[in-house]
A and B are shown apart, each in its own frame.
Chain A
Amino acid sequence: MPGTFKRSPLKRPERPYIALGLEGSANKLGAGIIKHDSDGSTTVLSNVRHTYITPPGEGFLPQDTARHHRQWIHSVIKDSLKQAGVEIHDLDCICFTKGPGMGAPLQSVALVARTLALMFDKPLVGVNHCVGHIEMGRQITGAQNPVVLYVSGGNTQVIAYSQQRYRIFGETLDIAVGNCLDRFARVINLSNDPSPGYNIEQEAKKGKKLLPLPYTTKGMDLSLSGILSTTEAYTYDKRFSQTVEPSPESDTITPADLCFSLQETVFAMLVEITERAMAHIGSKEVLIVGGVGCNERLQDMMGIMARERGGNVFATDERFCIDNGIMIAQAGLLSYRMGSVTPLSETSCTQRFRTDQVHVAWRA
């Protein structure tokens, strides 16, 4: 309830706590170390990431991604410890992504987490990836009780907190928004470096024309697969040309125009369902998390909407938006401080793990 203040069940730490977070649910491999100090402050000691980048026109396959993670995990963890200036013995717990995500990459990282835990006798904490994003976003931006738009390659959800759960108000009925953008980047052969979404964003800045695309919101849910097909169909249109410069007058269709149209339509839908959720629960804060959350056009549109309603938008940059280890450490340490530890027999991974399955013990 807005206005009523409830005491947080999370007690102030009596000593500093340090946690290592390991993330590898998709093509990013991350390790991060976070410290919760006894004065109540939180410090990011290190946040190291290595991304598996595929050639243009190709996506990342589970087995190749897992191979990449296995190859790099040692150096990533070593780097994170070195940057943080801590020894592995100093850690209070080791946090890893339990799900949701791709099976093989999740397993390869969980295996490392388990091994470390047994070697150094540290407790393990399994973390829901989505909750990790939300908690890191809240920590970095200081947003109190925002409506959360979680947009990434695998997830598209509008989330609000209520009674110790992050409840899903609206979500995609088919593919995730990041998936939609990434796949279109593949269609027009954009580079995957640093990320297909980033290159779409740059390309869209050159776009001049808004082409008609389906606008498919269903209540608070949305559907994106038809938009992808329609955008792709434009590339077979006679007017489509990859060599012409975009111009508002001529009737040619350029890749830039398509990127522009795709972004404008999809983001308008996202902002609309977020606005609905805000109206429904009466919140004035929006927090954007997830890889697509780095997109500045999305942040702009959300900002305009929030200001129209007299609220504001919170967003983070690529360090914390894109999958990273530190968010796993943050969410894991919060639940560790509430006394939750994952016993070794339950440190399995799961590809299906909904945001609303997690009991959020650390919030009132």
Chain B
Amino acid sequence: MATASLIADSTQIAQGAEAVSDPPSRNTTRKVYKAYIHTSFDSDAKVPILLKHRFKKQYRHPSLDANLTRARVAGEARALLRCLRSGVSVPGIRMVDATEGVLGVEWIEGKSVRMLLGGGAEGEEEQVSDSEEFFDDTTDAGGESVSHVDPLDEYQVTIDEIMGLIGSEIAKMHKADIIHGDLTTSNMIIRHPFAAKGPSPTKLVLIDFGLAYTSTLVEDKAVDLYVLERAFASTHPDSEPMLFAVLEAYKKGMYKDWTTVERRLQDVRLRGRKRSMVG
């Protein structure tokens, strides 16, 4: 199998927490590898790609598992493609093997927004569900012994700028009727300035469309934002001003669609069972 040999030749990406926890690499629902592919037949030049392997879940009934895997890989590829067509900054697709559960996407050199913001209480353990697009950070592979340079300086961005980018990218995505489904700060990557070459380098890249789907419903867009809101609150203390900046940029990107989404977002915030309903 071509796909299987590609995985065999690749290296599984060490994730932040795996250096300290054992057994290694059991912390997400998929395995992620860095592999190399040839760009053309005649050249020896190889480019890195990122392989996401949805391995078989033993606990699930085999046919249920196969169906889910196939649908999710295909769905992820489809969502990425739709994003690319609509100009949302996402990694490009390099290969798809839905039956094997493998998706290959563009390798992005950079750091997740969660890492750049200092990640809150569970900071060091980059273990948010499904966050597996990784970055090979050769400079401080030691993890804890972070270099003295403020990462924000190294990446030549400010927090305000990042928040603005997050808001406008999400707005672009929602305008194209794509719902991400798992918006967290781990699923957004800031490209390293050295890697951001090309005609129009985008600084912020949205990743992990594993739970994405298309929908025109205001409801789904509002829930998408609510997921981000909860993720911000649970990983970054005092996140309100940051979130406010995100929503400001989102509002700008959505134009007149904003009012309906805003109204629904307020409804969504009140959900959940057995809340006390006083007044």
Contacting residues, chain B, for A155 (C-beta < 8 A) = 273
Known A-B contacts A281-B122, A282-B17; A268 and B181 likewise in contact (beta carbons under 8 Å): no
Contacting residues, chain A, for B125 (C-beta < 8 A) = 282
Answer yes or no: B68 CB below 8 A from chain A CBs. Answer: yes
Answer yes or no: B263 CB below 8 A from chain A CBs. Answer: no
Known A-B contacts A218-B223, A309-B26, A352-B277; A171 and B59 likewise in contact (beta carbons under 8 Å): no
Q: Could you tell me if B64 and A309 are in contact, using CB atoms closer than 8 angstroms? A: no
Q: Could you tell me if A354 and B275 are in contact, using CB atoms closer than 8 angstroms? A: yes
Q: Could you tell me if B129 and A264 are in contact, using CB atoms closer than 8 angstroms? A: no
Contacting residues, chain B, for A268 (C-beta < 8 A) = 57, 59-61, 64
Q: Could you tell me if A357 and B121 are in contact, using CB atoms closer than 8 angstroms? A: no
Answer yes or no: A61 CB below 8 A from chain B CBs. Answer: no
Contacting residues, chain A, for B181 (C-beta < 8 A) = 218-219
Answer yes or no: A1 CB below 8 A from chain B CBs. Answer: yes
Q: Shortest CB–CB separation between residue B34 and chain A, in angstroms?
A: 20
Query: Complex: how many Å from CA A279 to CA B182?
Result: 14
Known A-B contacts A268-B59, A310-B26, A352-B274; A280 and B223 likewise in contact (beta carbons under 8 Å): no
Answer yes or no: B200 CB below 8 A from chain A CBs. Answer: no
The one of A168, A275, A354 that contacts B29, using a Cβ cutoff of 8 Å: A275
Q: Could you tell me if B61 and A210 are in contact, using CB atoms closer than 8 angstroms? A: yes
Query: Complex: how many Å from CA A265 to CA B63?
Result: 11
Known A-B contacts A210-B61, A271-B59; A173 and B271 likewise in contact (beta carbons under 8 Å): yes
The one of A168, A210, A277, A301 that contacts B59, using a Cβ cutoff of 8 Å: A301
Q: Could you tell me if A354 and B128 are in contact, using CB atoms closer than 8 angstroms? A: no
Q: Shortest CB–CB separation between residue A287 and chain B, in angstroms?
A: 17
Count of interface residues, chain B, beta-carbon cutoff 8 Å: 36
Interface membership of chain B positions 211-222, coded 1 if the CB is closer than 8 angstroms to chain A and 0 otherwise: 100000000000
Answer yes or no: B58 CB below 8 A from chain A CBs. Answer: yes
Q: Could you tell me if A210 and B277 are in contact, using CB atoms closer than 8 angstroms? A: no
Contacting residues, chain A, for B211 (C-beta < 8 A) = 219
Answer yes or no: A215 CB below 8 A from chain B CBs. Answer: yes
Q: Could you tell me if B61 and A171 are in contact, using CB atoms closer than 8 angstroms? A: no
Known A-B contacts A219-B181, A219-B227, A276-B29; A282 and B127 likewise in contact (beta carbons under 8 Å): yes
Known A-B contacts A218-B223, A354-B275, A357-B276; A280 and B64 likewise in contact (beta carbons under 8 Å): no
Contacting residues, chain A, for B241 (C-beta < 8 A) = none
Q: Could you tell me if A265 and B64 are in contact, using CB atoms closer than 8 angstroms? A: yes
Contacting residues, chain B, for A357 (C-beta < 8 A) = 276
The one of A100, A276, A309, A352 that contacts B129, using a Cβ cutoff of 8 Å: A276
Answer yes or no: B109 CB below 8 A from chain A CBs. Answer: no
Known A-B contacts A268-B59, A305-B59; A279 and B127 likewise in contact (beta carbons under 8 Å): yes
Contacting residues, chain A, for B64 (C-beta < 8 A) = 210, 215, 264-265, 268
Contacting residues, chain B, for A171 (C-beta < 8 A) = 272-273
Query: Complex: how many Å from CA A210 to CA B63?
Result: 8
Answer yes or no: A364 CB below 8 A from chain B CBs. Answer: no
Q: Could you tell me if A310 and B276 are in contact, using CB atoms closer than 8 angstroms? A: no
Answer yes or no: B23 CB below 8 A from chain A CBs. Answer: yes
Interface membership of chain B positions 151-181, coded 1 if the CB is closer than 8 angstroms to chain A and 0 otherwise: 0000000000000000000000000000001
Answer yes or no: B136 CB below 8 A from chain A CBs. Answer: no
Q: Shortest CB–CB separation between residue A188 and chain B, in angstroms?
A: 20
Answer yes or no: A172 CB below 8 A from chain B CBs. Answer: yes
Please give me the residue from chain B that is nearest to A301 by CB atom: B59
Answer yes or no: B130 CB below 8 A from chain A CBs. Answer: yes
Contacting residues, chain A, for B182 (C-beta < 8 A) = 219
Q: Shortest CB–CB separation between residue B126 and chain A, in angstroms?
A: 10
Contacting residues, chain A, for B129 (C-beta < 8 A) = 220, 275-277, 279-280
The one of B58, B272, B275 that contacts A304, using a Cβ cutoff of 8 Å: B58
**What 12 additional pairs, Cβ within 8 angstroms, besides A210-B61, A310-B26?**
A1-B121, A155-B273, A171-B273, A218-B223, A264-B64, A268-B59, A272-B29, A280-B128, A282-B17, A305-B57, A308-B26, A350-B276
- A selection of 28 A-B contacts at a CB cut-off of 8 Å is A1-B122, A168-B272, A210-B61, A210-B64, A218-B181, A218-B223, A219-B181, A219-B211, A220-B129, A268-B57, A276-B130, A277-B129, A279-B28, A279-B128, A279-B130, A280-B127, A281-B127, A282-B21, A282-B122, A304-B59, A305-B58, A308-B26, A308-B59, A309-B27, A352-B274, A353-B276, A354-B273, A354-B274
The 5 A-B residue pairs with the shortest CB-CB distance, nearest first, are A276-B129, A301-B59, A304-B59, A352-B274, A309-B26
Chain B residues with a Cβ under 8 A of chain A: 17, 21-23, 26-29, 57-61, 63-64, 67-68, 121-122, 125, 127-130, 181-182, 211, 223, 227, 271-277
